[in-house]
Structure 1
C-alpha cells in the first residue's frame, strides 16, 4: 500500500509540475505583449452618474502611443467594473448590422460613419447610439470605435449598451494609427486583445516557479 501511495504522490507532483511548465511557457510566449491595465472605477472623480442626461467623462482616458492587435491587450480588473454588473467579458467584432440583440459586452464597432455626412462627427455618443439601436438587453459594457474628429480609435465604457442615454467613460485613445489605417485596424481586434483578469500574487508565484523549473531543465540539458 505504501508503494501505491508514493506512486500517486509522485504522479500528482508530476502533473502539478507539468502545469507550472505550461504556465511558464505561456508567460514566455507572451513576454513581448504590452498589457494596458484598466483597474480604476471608470467614473472615479466624476459627477456623471448623478447628473441628469447622458454624460461623457474623459477623466480616465489614457493616451496610448499605439496598440498592436497582434501583441497587445487591454487587461480589465473586473473588481473595478463589478459595481456596474460586469462579471465577465464576451467579445464581438462586427459592423452595426452584425450586432445581435444580446450576448456581448465588448464590441469593436466597424462602422465609422452613420449618416454619410463628413460634416457630422462620429463620436463616442454617436457610436454608443448605433450600438444601442441593435441591443435590446440591459447591461454595461465596452466598445471600440473610430472617432472621426480625433481621427483615432478609442475604447469606451458604457453603463448600459442598450441605452441611448447611458453615461460613457472614455478609457483609452490609441494615438496611432490614424485615418484609414485606424479604420483598417478595427476588424483585426480579437478576443485575445481583451483579458478579463489580472494574475493574483499567488498565481505570479506559480508562474515564477514554473520559469525556474524551465531554466533548471535547460541547464541540465546543457550539462
Structure 2
C-alpha cells in the first residue's frame, strides 16, 4: 500500500488515534498541527491524500483547502469538522474538497472514504506522456499540476481526474455514462448532472473562452471529447 497521507489536525487525541489507525492500515502518515504548517506541507511535498480539519489554529481549513487548490495542487482532500451545518459542506466542496465528514464519525466509514478517494486519486502514475502542452495550457499528469501561461490553475481532484480521462481518450467521444463510471465510480445508468457541472467548471478554468471551447468539446447527444491535435 504505502500511500502517503497528510493529516492536518490540532486535536491531539484524534490526531493520535487517526495516525495510529492509518499506520496500522499500512499508510505512510505525515502530521501538521495547524493550518499554516498544513498548507506548507501540502504544497511543498507530494501526497496521495490530505485529511484536513476545518477548525485549525493560524489558518482555518477552508483557507488551507482554497490556497492549496490555488497553488495548482490536485491531491484529493477529505475535510473533517465538528460542524453539522449544510452550508459548511457546500462551502468546502465548492472550494475544492473532494469529500467531507462530520465529527464524531465511525472509523470504519472514514477508512472506506479514504480507500474510495485513493482508488481514484490523480496521484497514481499514468502510463502515457507525463507532461502535455496545448497552446498556453500545460498539464503535468504525474505532478498533478495544470498551468495556463505559466500560472497555476486551481483544479479540484475530481476536475483533474476528469481532465486526465479526457486527455487519455483525446479525439475520442466519451459518453456521460462512461465518465460517471470511470471518473466517479458510479453506475453508468445513474442519472445525474454532475458530469455537465464539472465540465462547465473545467472549461471556466482551462479554456480561453469557455462559451466557445477550444479543447473540451460537446458532442450533441453523445458526450464530450478533448480536441485531437
TM range (shorter): under 0.3
Structure (1 or 2) with the larger CA radius of gyration: 1
Relative contact order (C-alpha < 8 Å, sep 6+): which is higher? 1
TM-score (norm 1): 0.23
TM-score (norm 2): 0.23
